[in-house]
Structures are given as C-alpha cells and as structure tokens.
Amino acid sequence: MEAATIAPCRTITPEEVAHYQEKGWVLLKRFIGPETIATLLKKAQGIMGEDGDSNPPYGIDQPYFNAQAASGYADPAVRPMLHGVGAAAKALMARKANVPTRLFNDFFAPKLPAARKTRNQGNGATSFHQDFITFAVDRSGGMTFWIPLEGYGPEAGTMSFIEGSHRLGVLGNYTSYDGKDIREVYPELADMPMTEQVTYELGDVTAHSHLTVHGAGQNNLDRPRWAYLVLPQPADARWNGSPPEAFVPDAHGMTPYGPFPDSAFPIISE
C-alpha cells in the first residue's frame, strides 16, 4: 500500500506495525528524506569532526560506538523529523489507550573504524544485549530508531536482531553476565531466528523495542559508520527510582515514580 507523508518522514504502514509487534523490530524503507539525513550528518560532523572522533569524551566509554549528545529538539531543522519519529513510534507501540510518545534521548553514535587507533572508545563490535534495563523506567514500550546517515552494509558493522526476543521480558543488565554473552546466559535465545546484519540504503531506518536482543559487528570500513539514535518512550512512563544511565534526575527535579518533565523530555506525538 502507498504510505502517506508527514514531512520530513513518511508514515508507517499497518504491515510495518504488524512486523514490529511480531518480531520486535522493523526495517522502515526510505522513512526519512535525504535532505534531513544530510542535515543530520553535517550537524554530527560539525560536533564530532569528519573522523567521528574529535569530540571530548561524552562519559559513556564502551566499544559499541562513540556517543555524543545531539540535542536535536533544540534545532528547528531537526525538530520536525523528531515529531515524525514520534508519530511512527506511537503507531508501533499500538497501545489501545491514546498514549502519546515523548523524546527520551537522542545522540550521535559513530562506530569508529576497527583497524584505526582512536582517541575515544567506540571501534569494537556491539555485543548482543537489551536496551531496557539501562533506562530506569517503570514500563516497557520504549524503542530505538537507528538512523544511519549514509548507506551501509554488514562491513560497516550494522545491526542484527533476535526476532521474538522481546517476548521474553527483561533479561538483566549486560554488566551482570560476568563476561558471558547474553546467549549463554539465556540459551533459549538460540531457539529464535537471528536476522542477518541489515543493509541500509539512504533514508532507511530500523526501529527496535528496548526488549529486543540485538548486536552489531565491528566497523571494517576506513571511515566512521555514522548513526543517529532517537529513543521515544510512552509518555506515561515514569522513572522507577533506580540509578539511570541516560539522564540525571537531580538536574530535572525528578522523584521516583513521578512523571518525566515535558521541558526536558518533550512530547513528540499527539
């Protein structure tokens, strides 16, 4: 079926919603227009350098990627795209209640070349994991829109997903596995199909549930694998009081099981 358009993002189709609900992830072909992708890449390189490695350390040191806050909602050139993501996330959540979505976080995440000595960490493979436990929220429904800023294939270290793993519930923090792979800790994951690493054309995006187990290879290119990550949450989610990795409660006057303030976590869908 033809997808209608919400500039600068298209709307998603019922078939895409059904795929996400069943598999825990979905590839959204040509979801974002090339002009917006070009704007994001220029913004990322302006902050991090063309090598994706010239920014000061962000405070997240791990091999998956070199993280850098994007603060896209403050940018009039990026904000309309975030509202398009919010509308898509609301559809993918498929809540019977009319629950909006809020922007929980957005950041640039270049995976640096594996063969190069880098200033920042972020030039290794991404071990298989869930995202949910790191966000200290009291309910599921959140997801990540993984937006490549160029066309990439497996050689760049793109994503793989274990389909149906979102139905297993919360599987713990990856730091608690005592050095083991999540697939060793939960052998039932071996009974579920794993996708091949995704090949993205310009404008393609994947969305995955924060309960979906996923990982990525190392970047074997001679340049950064540029990605922009947008994390919507259901607007009724609350901080559960645990130490979060993604925000500073004291900076926003937050209390356990109180609402996330709209000023810092804006609503991005109706």
16: phi then psi, degrees, rounded to nearest 5: -70, -40
Report the run of H or E that residue 206 belongs to, with start and end.
strand 205-209
User: What pLDDT, on the 0 to 100 scale, is given for residue 5?
Assistant: 41
Q: Which of 134, 138, 150, 127 is nearest to 60 (CA)?
A: 134
User: What pLDDT, on the 0 to 100 scale, is given for residue 267?
Assistant: 98
- In 42-197, at which residue ranges do the beta strands (DSSP E only) sit? 68-69, 101-108, 126-129, 143-148, 159-161
In the predicted model, is pLDDT for residue 207 greater than 50? yes
Name residue 29's amino acid. Answer: K
In the predicted model, is pLDDT for residue 153 greater than 80? yes
Mean pLDDT of 166-191: 94
User: What pLDDT, on the 0 to 100 scale, is given for residue 7?
Assistant: 67
In the predicted model, is pLDDT for residue 6 greater than 60? no
Tokens describing residue 178: 């005592």
User: What pLDDT, on the 0 to 100 scale, is given for residue 63?
Assistant: 87
Tokens describing residue 123: 């030039």
User: What pLDDT, on the 0 to 100 scale, is given for residue 270?
Assistant: 86
Q: In the chain, where does DSSP find H-type helix?
A: 14-23, 34-48, 79-93, 182-185
87-133 residue pLDDT tens: 999 999 999 999 999 999 999 999 999 999 998 999 999 999 999 99
Tokens describing residue 116: 């190069």
The answer to whether residues 114 and 122 touch, using CB atoms and an 8 Å cutoff, is no
Cα–Cα distance list, 256 to 136, 242, 243 (Å): 10, 8, 10
**What 3-state DSSP class applies to 148?**
strand
Cβ-defined contacts of 166-172 (< 8 Å, 24+): 166/24, 166/209, 166/211, 166/212, 167/24, 167/211, 168/211, 169/211, 170/130, 170/132, 170/133, 170/211, 171/130, 171/213, 172/133
230-262 residue pLDDT tens: 999 999 999 999 998 888 899 999 999 999 999
124: phi then psi, degrees, rounded to nearest 5: -115, -175
- Domains with residue ranges and CATH for the chain: 18-245 (2.60.120.620)
Q: In 191-241, where does DSSP find H-type helix?
A: none
Q: Please tell me whether the overall predicted TM-score, pTM, comes out greater than 0.85 for this model.
A: yes
252: phi then psi, degrees, rounded to nearest 5: -120, 10
User: What pLDDT, on the 0 to 100 scale, is given for residue 24?
Assistant: 98
Dihedral of CA atoms 226, 130, 237, 256 in degrees, nearest 10, equals -110
User: What pLDDT, on the 0 to 100 scale, is given for residue 60?
Assistant: 67
User: What pLDDT, on the 0 to 100 scale, is given for residue 244?
Assistant: 87
The answer to whether residues 149 and 205 touch, using CB atoms and an 8 Å cutoff, is no
Lowest-confidence region among 54-63, 186-195, 199-208, 234-243? 54-63
In the predicted model, is pLDDT for residue 17 greater than 50? yes
